[in-house]
Amino acid sequence: MEGVNIFGIDASSVVVRTLGDSNAYSGAQLIWMGRGTDYFPQDLKNKFDIVTASGVFLKGHIPASAMDDIHAALKPNGYFVTAMRSYYYKHGVEEGYREKLDELVDAGKLRLVKTETFMRGREG
């Protein structure tokens, strides 16, 4: 599709194949996030204006260390947009997503622009 510049990644070859067959993506690649930036593909570093990740930061899925890969993929002044259950955005939760995000913010690698709670009620 002309003008489309959306690149997808996933740890599932079935998903990557589906993305590759879609007219919605300019490309797709099989990648396991969170193994360390040494394993993150060099050609995808410093490449993207925006990285989105929704519904992936949860127990048993993508580790907090994947945020290092996300940072590596962003161009300077790029945006990382994510959504996660507020349960996982708390300090002291086993997965450590909040601590990792705080680490990246404290190191000046990311700047928190906005947070919003969109799920209310019982979570877990």
For residue range 69-84, what is the model confidence (pLDDT) as tens digits?
999 999 999 999 999 8
Geometric angle at alpha carbon 92, from 89 and 96, rounded to 5°: 60
Domain parsing of the chain, residue ranges: 1-32, 45-124
- 29-63 tens-digit pLDDT: 999 999 999 999 999 999 999 999 988 999 999 99
Reported pTM: 0.88
Can you tell me whether residue 82 is helix, strand or coil? strand
Among residues 119, 113, 32, 103, the alpha carbon closest in space to that of 78 is found at 113
pLDDT at 3: 61
74-83 and 48-54 strand pairing: parallel
